[in-house]
Structure 1
Amino acid sequence: MPLAVQEVANRYEIISLIGQGGMADVYKAKDIILNRIVAIKILREKLSHDAMTLVRFQREASAASRLSHPNVVDIYDVGESDGMHYIVMEFIRGRTLKQLIQQRGALSVSESIQIMTQLTSAIDHAHKHNIIHRDIKPQNVLVKDDGTVKITDFGIAIANDAVQLTLNNAVMGSAHYLAPETAQGKEPTAQVDIYSLGIVFYELLTGDVPFHGKTPTEIAVKHLRQPIPYVRDFNPAIPQAVENIILKATAKDPKDRYSSAYAMLEDLQNCMNWEMRNVERISFTTPNIAKVDVNDGHVEVEYSDEPIETEEKRKFPWFTWIIRTIVILIVCLILLLGLVAGHVIQVDGLLGYQTIPNVVNLSTSQAKKKLKAKNFTHITIKKVLSDSVDKGKVISCNYDAGQSVYHGNTIVLKVSKGPGYLVEDFTGQTLEEAEYTLDKEGVKLNIEVKYKNAADTNPGVILSQKKLKAGTRIDPNANETIQFVVSQNPTIVIPESLIGMDVNEAKESLNDQGIAVVLSGSGDTGVVVNVSPSVGSTYTQEGSDSVVTLYYQ
């Protein structure tokens, strides 16, 4: 429902409703004192008299206001006015991470790592301030247009020294991202946040959560009993080091998870390094759960040391299997003879056919030597970039090893040129910093620059990059083109329309264009009679010392 009043605390002018939660509504508003757009969360009137809800609302403000991190939504003000309890925070132009996933599906590995690095850094900061979020999910993460993410909604966050808000540690948080021990009503630790981060990482890479169910309890039980599916089964191109982060973060036993968010952050920052390319899949012992009961919203688990029988006993006597095996072997032999007679299967050396040797991971010279030993003389080399195969080694062959191929056929070998250059996200850096980085890395790029007025940004800052997106792997010598949109000081031509305009409207019009304004006249209002610099002249806003003066009477 829309708010009955249009102004809160004689300071915040309500513009529009932008979101609704379980206990509060969020509005876009204007801070008329600081002349900026903000978001204001207002506790619903019927809940303001409920002591527990009020404590949760106040706790959110207290928890978030103790944090100062680029990936945590900033809290500007907290208060109560005419019976309304409110929190004022920064207004984020963008969408939730959940909306981004619903619109695009699975994200690329590099973009997923970039998002998770920001989230994990924010949670590490919260943990170092003794704050456990307890409700980490894509719905509580805002994504700005420049790719920056901001975590919000500390409504059920707790400090390590805070009292519980619910009896018997009742389950709180979202079932799809809920740690197994939380479903059992155990005391929350930092490991519950780490588990939720692992589930979010899984969703970023696959486009969906690992478990579904008809009820939250059914989903929670799956988190208890079923192992997290492997993301590499969804996309084999995902590096094993990346999958290992998810497996470790979502281990059933909190002791097997990362000891801290900082430890997880370190792995996120290093998982794409060259030395991590050959790591093996990690595994943990899954508790053997014999029985699960649900009582009053709590999940009670009974563990067993005995293995659970998962395979059916054989239903046929041993001689039946022997007869079946003999019949299958006879059928296979007849089929094999038919394939050889029809030249579907070629015998090595017969009629000019040879078996392709295994040349993957060999050097180019070694691969050629093995192929020529098999009488293959038509060999073509195609060099390509590779993240996982050393430079000069064979990545693949156009025929599989062991395949019978006529010796006159052309054999095409793909040979690694090395990993190439991984294009980074230059937004937020200065143009000079980006050029220095590319030069230092020895990357030859054609840089196109477009300038754009930016009122709240220092000149020379890269606002966006096009043609080469972050995470793209390129040949550093390919002379590809990247385009940067770079901020510049706002420049306008002083419009003649200012003369005769209401002075406050004229000031607001110039402010909206990033122009600093000084008023000269008597009284609180009037019309503009003159402007300095004069009408028609070009004016550039250069820092706080530069102003346009409006003379009014």
Structure 2
Amino acid sequence: MNKKNVVANRYEVVQHIGQGGMADVFLAIDTILNRHVAIKILRSDQSTDAISILRFEREAQAATTLAHPNIVEIYDVGEYKNHHYIVMEYVAGKTLKKVIRDRAPLLNLEAVDTMKQLTSAVAEAHKRGIIHRDIKPQNVIVKSDGSLKILDFGIATAKGSAQLTQANNVMGSVHYLAPELAKGEPASPQSDIYALGIVFYEMLTGDVPFKADQAVQIALQHMREPMPSVRKANPNVPQSVENIIIRATAKNPKLRYQSCDEMLKDLEKCMLPEHQNDKPLSLKDPIDKTPTKQEKDDTKVAMTRSTSLSRVANKRTKIYITAIVVLFALFALIVGLFLAGILPPKSKTVTVPNVSDMDVAQATAALEEQELEVDQENIIYQLSKDSIEGVVISTEPASSSEVERHSKVKLIVSSGVGEEMPNYVGKNIDDVKASLPSSIHLIEKEEQSDKKPGTIIRQEGVAPGELYDVAGVTDVTLYYVPYVKITIPADIIGKPIEEATAQLEAMGVNVVRAHRDTSSLPQSEIDKIKVGTVIETMPAAGSEYTQKKDSYVTLYFY
């Protein structure tokens, strides 16, 4: 897809803004409703895979059944030129992961408010029989007003439906993976609740509770290690809040909240003064760190699960063991080459990405991904011929430039769509006035010149070729050569037509002569007529007259 593509003769693709395991996501314009949308398009390499298509369709089916202010809205689903697509609400903002990375630990009230929104949205999904299965901060967009939207139901599943796990697909994210999922057990509402508890912990501490170099180690920690105390990492967290995390992240799903509504009730009251000093919650679910035979079996399953994170129980084969060994060997080789100086060190420069047609938040995120910083104090806003208000036009330095890491990049952002100001110099003032758009307020001024009267000789306000705001009113001053202004002589009546014509032309007036017919007059009247003399003028003799481009004085005679 590129900027000139139009999907289904309706959605004009503007910019590639993201990608997932199966699909690419583009910013597009709905040309019928004239609004920005996000369009997710199944990649070509997945378009012939029945499982991928079924998962893609399941995402659309899952999301279209949901109507909640904190769940991204689906507008349209279809297939175009063998590409399956989903059109959804475009949400401008930062991922919750980015918010955590920038500002964690979040204030208790902010973290609790965020959890209320998240839990309410997941509760709605669960009531519709949909389990998300991939709740993580990367799948949550936080808008500038603090409201949020949950994205990506790509691996969501209906309760009791077939599992669409593939051996080479990472289902969910290991840092937020419930212990039972690591063992290969089916997803349930409690596995989503576990992930919510991990996200809550991360917001309040700035880090996930379990970390290791290998996915298998993290999965095993979820299964066997006690959940770290959030209050030890952040003493400002009240016990009532930690109790929510303790219950949400219980190893045993039966000891967790049995619904998101239960969890939401505790979130609603945890910051009340009477709950600030609640007693620490004990779930009476001791953990034996000595591995039993069952735990050893679980460990084997977890290793297989974490390598492919698959729910297919028979995938514990030599293929995956071999793959792990090869990966470790490759990693060790790369580290060895780097330490030996054979591989080059990390470059000191980075390439400025193309952020045109993104909004400021998206452009900021894209630049930060490249270890660059937006010069927030010097964002330039200007009119654009092609870009709507709020969209990035270009950057300084320009895209594709090589700059030092952590350099500041200046954004040039559209303040609205503008049009080029025409060049009116040399044109007639009356012609210009007749065709002037309502968005231009004309100020007329006369200026002497040897040019033809009415000719525009100077233009001020907005120079020719500069953009002006078509949605507003722009002042433009045009200086033109003044027209001739006279008083038509009263004594011109009765003068011979040739003499009267010459007199007016000498004054700079355009003259038209009109001969009156005498055939309808009686002979007595005809006898009194002085043939060839002026009998009437239009405008009337003695009146003020301005000689403009297409105006004239008419002389009537017999």
Give the TM-score band, short-chain normalised: 0.5 to 0.7
Q: Where does residue 119 of structure 1 map in the other structure? A: 118
Residue correspondences, number: 321
> Which residue pairs with 2:11 in the alignment?
12
C-alpha deviation, 1:237, in angstroms: 1.6
Which residue is 1:294 aligned to?
300
Aligned partners of 1:98 and 1:139 also within 8 Å? yes
Amino acid at match of 1:173: G
Q: Deviations over 1:244-267 (max 9, x none)?
A: 000000001111100100110111
Mapping of residues 136-147 of structure 1, within 5 Å: 136-147=135-146
Larger radius of gyration: 2
Residues 15, 5 of structure 1: alpha-carbon distance in 2 compared, 3 angstrom cutoff? closer
One-letter identity of the residue aligned with 1:188: A
Q: Distance in 1 between matches of 2:164 and 2:419?
A: 61
Q: Which amino acid aligns with 1:99?
A: K
1:534 is displaced (CA, Å) by 9.2
Runs ≥4 residues deviating over 3 A: 2-5, 495-501, 528-536
In the alignment, structure 1 segments of 5+ residues that lack a partner are 301-491, 502-527, 537-546, 549-553
Amino acid of the structure 2 residue aligned with 1:186: E
1:481-521 Cα shifts (integer Å, max 9, x gaps): xxxxxxxxxxx9xx9989999xxxxxxxxxxxxxxxxxxxx
Alpha carbons 2:226, 2:287 under 8 Å: kept: no
Q: Is the contact between residue 3 and residue 13 of structure 2 (CA under 8 Å) also seen in structure 1?
A: no
Structure 1 residue 162 displacement after superposition? 2.2
Tell me, what secondary structure is at the counterpart of 1:294?
helix
Counterpart CA distance in 2 for 1:47 and 1:535 is 56
Quote the Cα distance in structure 1 between the aligned partners of 2:84 and 2:192: 28
| Contact kept? 1:25, 1:43, Cα under 8 Å | yes
Question: For residue 265 of structure 2, what is the aligned residue in structure 1?
Answer: 266
Corresponding position of 2:539: none
State the distance in 1 between where 2:101 and 2:123 align: 27
- Which is bigger in relative contact order (C-alpha 8 A, separation at least 6)? 2
In structure 2, the CA distance between the partners of 1:77 and 1:529, relative to structure 1 (3 Å rule), is farther
User: What residue in structure 1 maps to residue 232 of structure 2?
Assistant: 233
Question: Which residue number in structure 1 is paired with residue 20 of structure 2?
Answer: 21
- Distance across 1 between alignment mates of 2:45 and 2:215: 27
Deviations 1:286-328 (A, max 9, x none): 343434332472489xxxxxxxxxxxxxxxxxxxxxxxxxxxx
- How far apart are residue 275 of structure 1 and its match? 1.6
CA distance in 2, matches of 1:47, 1:120: 32
CA contact 1:182–1:192 (8 Å) conserved in 2: yes
Map 1:346-357 → 2, pairs under 5 A? none
Determine what percentage of the aligned residue pairs are the same residue. Answer: 52
Q: Where do 5+ consecutive residues of structure 2 fail to align?
A: 312-415, 425-433, 443-470, 473-558
Per the normalisation by structure 2, the TM-score is: 0.53
AA partner of residue 113 (structure 1): V
Are residues 1:205 and 2:212 paired? no
- The equivalences for 1:378-527 within 5 A come to none
d(CA) in 1 for partners of 2:131 and 2:440? 57
Change in Cα spacing, 1:3 to 1:52, as seen in structure 2 (3 Å) is: farther
Q: Residue 283 of structure 1: CA displacement?
A: 1.7
1: CA distance, partners of 2:166 / 2:21: 20
Q: Quote the residue 1:174 is aligned against.
A: 173
SS in 2 for 1:297: helix
Shift in CA distance, 77/275, structure 1 to aligned 2, threshold 3 Å: same
Residues 1:500 and 1:264: Cα distance change in structure 2 (over 3 Å): farther
- Within 1, Cα distance between the matches of 2:420 and 2:305? 68
Q: CA deviation at 1:529?
A: 4.4
In structure 2, the CA distance between the partners of 1:5 and 1:15, relative to structure 1 (3 Å rule), is: closer
Which AA in structure 2 matches 1:297? T
1:277 positional shift: 2.1
Aligned mates of 1:106, 1:166 — CA distance in 2? 34
Q: Is contact 1:171–1:298 with CA below 8 Å preserved after alignment? A: no
The 5-angstrom pairing of residues 298-313 of structure 1 reads 298=305
SS of 2:300's partner is: strand
Contact residue 92 and residue 144 of structure 1 kept, 8 A: yes
How far apart, in 1, do the equivalents of 2:166 and 2:14 lie? 39
Distance 2:180 2:287 in 1: 12
Cα distance in 2 for partners of 1:4, 1:500 equals 32
Return the alpha-carbon distance in structure 1 between the equivalents of residues 15 and 153 of structure 2. 23
Give the drift of 1:184: 0.9
Letter paired with 1:286: P
User: Aligned AA for 1:133?
Assistant: H
Contact 2:4 2:14 in 1 (8 A): no
Relative distance call for 1:192 and 1:496 in structure 2 (3 A) is closer
